[in-house]
Chains A and B, each alone.
Chain A
Amino acid sequence: MRYIIFHLFIVLALVFLNACTEEIEMEFKSVQPQLVVDAVFTDQVREHYVILTRSSDFLSNEPNPAVSKATVQLRDAYNEIVLEELHDKPGVYLIPKSFRGIYGQTYTLSISGVDINEDGVEEEYSAVNTLYPVVDIRGIALGWSLTQGQKAWQVLLYTKDPEETKDYYAFTLYLNGESISPKISETEYADDKYFNGNEVNGVWVHSVVEEDNEGNPTDHVLQLGDWVKLEMQSINQDYYEFIDAVHQETGIKVPLFSGPPANVPTNVSNGARGFFRTYSLVQDSIQVTQEILDQRE
């Protein structure tokens, strides 16, 4: 609900006030680099990666320098593994397929053998996260929508929120198997604060935008026979707050509704940045039929 409200206002402010934007030349100061952890681990049987980089100047406009030759370990209550760095991708460490995420387990990622601040002393970092069980999707549907100046398909979700737990969700979307919301800032998210234990009957959770609010068509115009796949991730509160902060820090700022900029939270210790994301996920797909396309106005 908070997300809807936030977007509603941005649109109100920009559309009705006719705000203009343009690039502005600015100089930003730089500070000492910090370790940045970008790690994902899910309940799926597949390879996962931990990417380690150094933070860089804000307008450096190139990939951040990789952190190589670190000792990276992942452990749960039963096992501990040492991650191998990929030969062809420095700074990328592999969690093998064989190490699979299990619900209820807490995972600790440890990083050592690196000297990010270059003081000659190696630092140690760690990040802890828990994998939550999935909630099943009963089904999804597509509904045509003209709102907030856009022409879009709303992806509608059917499920039931568990009553006994506090649940946090993230949603991403695939079109014909290819992700159309790969970034965190394109991930939609919700918590069950306002609907704990309720039936979810066709709630709008994501969109396939066909025409943006400036009237420009996107690459995602649905055709007969296309497949739209929704991925629902069960996340925890920390990651939910991280996604929320990323949305605020990477989106357009409107003085009316945006507070002062602030660092996105992290779950990595010892002054590092980034996030060790763990979640379980379910997916459901729908094929575009003529009946669906006929909704288009």
Chain B
Amino acid sequence: MIKNIVLFCLMLLWASGIQANKPLEKNNVVLSGVVKDGSTGELLIGATIYFKELQSGTITNLYGFYSFSLSPGKYNVQFDYMGYQAVDKIIDLKENTTLNIELFEESENIQEVVITSKKRDAHVRDPQMSVQKLQSKDIKAVPALMGEVDVIKVLQLMPGVQATSEGSSGFSVRGGNPDQNLILLDEATVYNAGHILGFFSVFNNDAIKDVQLYKGNIPAEYGGRLSSLVDVRMKDGNSKKFEGNGGIGLISSRLTLQGPIAKDKTSFVVSGRRTYFDLFLPLSSDPAVKDNKIYFYDINAKVNHIINDNNRIYFSTYAGRDVFKEVRSEMNYGNKTFSFRWNHVYNPKLFSNITLVGSNYDYSLTANDQASGFKWESRLKDYSLKVDYNYYLNPNNTINFGGQTTYHTINPGTAQGTGEEALYDKIVVPDANSLEHALYIGNTQSIGSRLSLRYGLRLSILQNIGKGTIYDFDQDYEVEGSTEYDKGEVFNSYAGLEPRLGLSYMLNETTSLKGSYARTRQYLHLASNSTSGTPLDVWFMSSPNVKPQISDQFSVGYFKNLSDHTIETSVELFYKDMQNTIDFKDHPELLLNKHMEGEIRVGNSWAYGAEFLVKFNKGKFNGWVGYTWSRSWRKIPEINEGKKYLSPYNHDHDISIVLNQKIGKRGQLSANWVYSSGAPFTAPTGRMYVGGDVIPIYSSRNKERMPDYHRMDVSYTLKTKNKKDRKWEGEWNFAIYNLYGRKNAWSIYYEQDENDPYEVTAQKTYLFQFIPSVTYNFKF
């Protein structure tokens, strides 16, 4: 099967080469350039360029660049981007031409008129399926927990995406595990996307330009995770004028400053956020609470510089940290990333981007105690070099190729006693080092006016390198011995091909059928068996003991736009087959354990489902309704007596409704409602009484369901009156999370009665019941 797909991809690539050599196209000229926002200079990702005479066009890449070759002549060209006024140009093309275009946001009054003349059929025409795109302003419109606008929480409202537990920024895509999502911030991997034990994400919406979520059919340029890609792009910074915006909320304040350093050449953006609820703790009369600390902060910064029309560089960085401190203990953790990118246009047909990224996640835990005090640290570090080329071969073929090499260093944990009478020895779980490489080639191809294809091939390689220690385990997972490897020695390798294919066939102007297949391989896994993210993440590499996880995903979809492309609908069916799925033995010891690999149990898993989405934009009224039905199974010989069991992230039914209604000139009312059938859990089927405790007895894993989850959130945003002579614009946001106060079960446990030792009751814990918030946002 895989071989055939590889062969098919190669044949298509070859065929596209033949097309390119047609003599007819020898005299073609190329129209290329970038599309930007006219008021800020931000490059627009995925803007469409449509040639009316050809009834065909292209879209801008991740750096706002486009290129289209065609025979010389006069053309009506429309440049368009969602939420912006389209620009129509008549161009008389005689030679290769660079045309940079600026688009301006639609003002609300004309939106409904203009929209009708647009060619907004990308939803049905694009061979890419299973993708969701969000812009900063879409994210902002959705009511948020404690007023903290959060991109990940909005992604969780999309079909096929579910929060791992109440309020968590961990998520499961199409039944996958949370560690199977690749989260990139300006190309740098974010290993832990949660603040405050995962209840807020690390992404400060003010610094974000664009977010794309791929639930399947991940483009060949990306890999390393089985389930999804979340590609978050930071703003480049306003290159036209200096501006600031920010907000004061219940738990945090934000400030973003951006502007030109040299107008239209160099610009910057700096964005910061810090919570402040701990500032009130010293007021407490309780001495145990007084000195507690709990806060997080984020800083995003980016500078970009246009050297000339053919060269542009960007430097961006992120740093965030959470700190918890009480009398005897302290924990802090955070991510740091940087990316340096250089866009180079070799010629109007060949665009390249070279990226150098670094990523770091670390945490430390301290117990301050005279005798039993200790400090425990863990760190994961990545350095990566990536090159990407877009070759605009001809109007029907855009070829992407490139490669990436990443050096991973993981220090799973180092702990040692502190204090004068330290009890604990120094414990070092040996570092793990590895190199992960990838080469890829892909093509986006149109065949005739109805069929579009996107296909590619990725070769991924993992090399475990010394210095390292590998433990050998016997059949009972007991350590038999170990092997030491010298520094720099490559002692184990895995390699594999990952074919990707997507196609779309237009049934008519507004309807298409799409299909896709993608194989993905994952070499880096998370040692966690919690159903919600924890800050104590320890990632581990595939090694001689741990094979890479492999997924094959097939999807088909029916896409239809209605009402002049203002309503987009889709139905997608998927089936995912995964090999070498990782789970853990009962009561595993995952932290600070040199022999952690012995806690792993491996098997297969599979998931299938149907996703329905209706998305509409009627100017003043917009939103979406999504419904997902899915199942996600695992079968692991040593777990559940080898019988199949549901993944903890399985939710049979999942509904999300998001609605936004503009009210008057200044107001907007937003509401969302989510429903998902209860998560699987392992319920007791009996009890025993041993040593004074009633202890549950279980027979099947994840056989029963938690109570169903549902919740409604609302928010109202009111802009303050605009005074013409003042630059200051303000807006109030009032939100209520969980409006009808449903006590959604976060966990279930069993409590033994204090007076009657045989009496046990089931208890549920729940969080966030009716949480109101007020936020004031400003812009100047």
A22 CB contacts on chain B under 8 angstroms: 743, 763-764, 766
Smallest CB gap from A254: residue in B: B747
CB of B326 within 8 A of CB of A147, answer yes
CB of A19 within 8 A of CB of B328, answer no
Query: Does B619 sit within 8 A of A, measured CB to CB?
Result: no
Smallest CB gap from B701: residue in A: A260
Inter-chain CA distance A103–B750, complex, in Å, is: 37
Interface residues of B, count at CB 8 A: 88
Q: Known interface pairs A36-B688, A148-B326. Does A260 touch B529 (Cβ–Cβ under 8 Å)? A: yes
A196 CB contacts on chain B under 8 angstroms: 425
Inter-chain CA distance A57–B697, complex, in Å, is: 9
Smallest CB gap from A37: residue in B: B690
Q: Known interface pairs A146-B288, A200-B423. Does A24 touch B763 (Cβ–Cβ under 8 Å)? A: yes
Query: Does B127 sit within 8 A of A, measured CB to CB?
Result: no
**Tally of contacts, chain A with chain B, CB under 8 A:** 258
Inter-chain CA distance A156–B587, complex, in Å, is: 28
> Contact mask A17-29 → B, CB, 8 Å, 1/0?
1111111111011
CB of A20 within 8 A of CB of B693, answer no
> Contact mask B571-603 → A, CB, 8 Å, 1/0?
000000000000010111101100000000000
Near B by CB (< 8 A), chain A positions 233-274 give: 241, 244-246, 248-265, 273-274
Inter-chain CA distance A193–B595, complex, in Å, is: 13
Near A by CB (< 8 A), chain B positions 673-697 give: 681-697
Near A by CB (< 8 A), chain B positions 685-716 give: 685-699, 701-702, 704, 707
CB of B584 within 8 A of CB of A200, answer no
CB of A202 within 8 A of CB of B370, answer yes
B744 vs chain A, min Cβ distance (A): 11
B759 CB contacts on chain A under 8 angstroms: 61
Choose one: B688, B747, B752; the contact of A53 (CB below 8 Å).
B688
- Interface segment among B41-49, B53-61, B312-320, B530-538: the answer is B530-538
B562 CB contacts on chain A under 8 angstroms: none
Q: Known interface pairs A30-B685, A30-B686, A261-B698. Does A20 touch B748 (Cβ–Cβ under 8 Å)? A: no
Inter-chain CA distance A147–B292, complex, in Å, is: 11
CB of B683 within 8 A of CB of A29, answer yes
Q: Known interface pairs A5-B591, A8-B329, A21-B764. Does A246 touch B686 (Cβ–Cβ under 8 Å)? A: no
Inter-chain CA distance A268–B747, complex, in Å, is: 31
A251 CB contacts on chain B under 8 angstroms: 749
- Interface segment among A105-113, A132-140, A181-189: the answer is A181-189
Q: Known interface pairs A63-B758, A256-B530. Does A56 touch B686 (Cβ–Cβ under 8 Å)? A: yes
Query: Does B77 sit within 8 A of A, measured CB to CB?
Result: no
B591 CB contacts on chain A under 8 angstroms: 2, 5
CB of B374 within 8 A of CB of A24, answer no
Query: Does A277 sit within 8 A of B, measured CB to CB?
Result: yes
CB of A275 within 8 A of CB of B371, answer no
> Contact mask B126-159 → A, CB, 8 Å, 1/0?
0000000000000000000000000000000000
CB of A194 within 8 A of CB of B683, answer no
Smallest CB gap from B427: residue in A: A194
CB of A53 within 8 A of CB of B587, answer no
CB of B327 within 8 A of CB of A184, answer no
Query: Does B23 sit within 8 A of A, measured CB to CB?
Result: no
Query: Does B490 sit within 8 A of A, measured CB to CB?
Result: no
CB of A204 within 8 A of CB of B687, answer no
Name, among B421, B424, B689, B748, the residue most crowded by chain A CB atoms within 10 Å (CB to CB).
B689
CB of A156 within 8 A of CB of B764, answer no
CB of B198 within 8 A of CB of A184, answer no
CB of A252 within 8 A of CB of B371, answer no
B75 CB contacts on chain A under 8 angstroms: none
Query: Does A38 sit within 8 A of B, measured CB to CB?
Result: yes
Choose one: A28, A60, A259, A260; the contact of B702 (CB below 8 Å).
A260
Inter-chain CA distance A200–B369, complex, in Å, is: 13
A19 CB contacts on chain B under 8 angstroms: 746, 765-767
Near A by CB (< 8 A), chain B positions 715-768 give: 743, 745-750, 752, 756, 758-767
A8 CB contacts on chain B under 8 angstroms: 329, 331, 365, 367
Query: Does A1 sit within 8 A of B, measured CB to CB?
Result: yes
Query: Does A121 sit within 8 A of B, measured CB to CB?
Result: no
Query: Does B502 sit within 8 A of A, measured CB to CB?
Result: no
B767 CB contacts on chain A under 8 angstroms: 17-20
CB of A28 within 8 A of CB of B685, answer yes
Query: Does A198 sit within 8 A of B, measured CB to CB?
Result: yes
B758 CB contacts on chain A under 8 angstroms: 61-63
A253 CB contacts on chain B under 8 angstroms: 747-749, 765
B690 CB contacts on chain A under 8 angstroms: 36-38, 184, 246, 273-275
A273 CB contacts on chain B under 8 angstroms: 688, 690, 697
Inter-chain CA distance A58–B685, complex, in Å, is: 6
CB of A250 within 8 A of CB of B532, answer no
B704 CB contacts on chain A under 8 angstroms: 28-29
Inter-chain CA distance A288–B175, complex, in Å, is: 58
> Contact mask A270-284 → B, CB, 8 Å, 1/0?
000111010000000
Query: Does B287 sit within 8 A of A, measured CB to CB?
Result: yes
Name, among B529, B584, B685, B695, the residue most crowded by chain A CB atoms within 10 Å (CB to CB).
B695
Inter-chain CA distance A203–B704, complex, in Å, is: 42
Q: Known interface pairs A58-B760, A204-B371. Does A255 touch B697 (Cβ–Cβ under 8 Å)? A: no
CB of B691 within 8 A of CB of A184, answer yes
CB of B691 within 8 A of CB of A257, answer no
B743 CB contacts on chain A under 8 angstroms: 20, 22
CB of A260 within 8 A of CB of B682, answer yes
Smallest CB gap from B586: residue in A: A262
B707 CB contacts on chain A under 8 angstroms: 24
Query: Does B492 sit within 8 A of A, measured CB to CB?
Result: no
Query: Please, could you name 20 A-B residue pairs with CB atoms under 8 Å apart, sorted by A?
Result: A5-B376, A17-B199, A23-B764, A24-B745, A28-B684, A31-B685, A31-B699, A55-B687, A58-B697, A60-B687, A61-B756, A147-B329, A183-B692, A184-B691, A194-B425, A245-B586, A249-B696, A252-B765, A257-B534, A262-B701
Q: Known contacts A201-B423, A250-B752; can you find 18 more A-B pairs with CB under 8 A? A: A1-B372, A12-B197, A12-B324, A13-B197, A19-B746, A25-B762, A34-B697, A38-B691, A56-B687, A64-B689, A184-B690, A185-B692, A199-B423, A204-B369, A249-B695, A253-B748, A258-B530, A260-B682
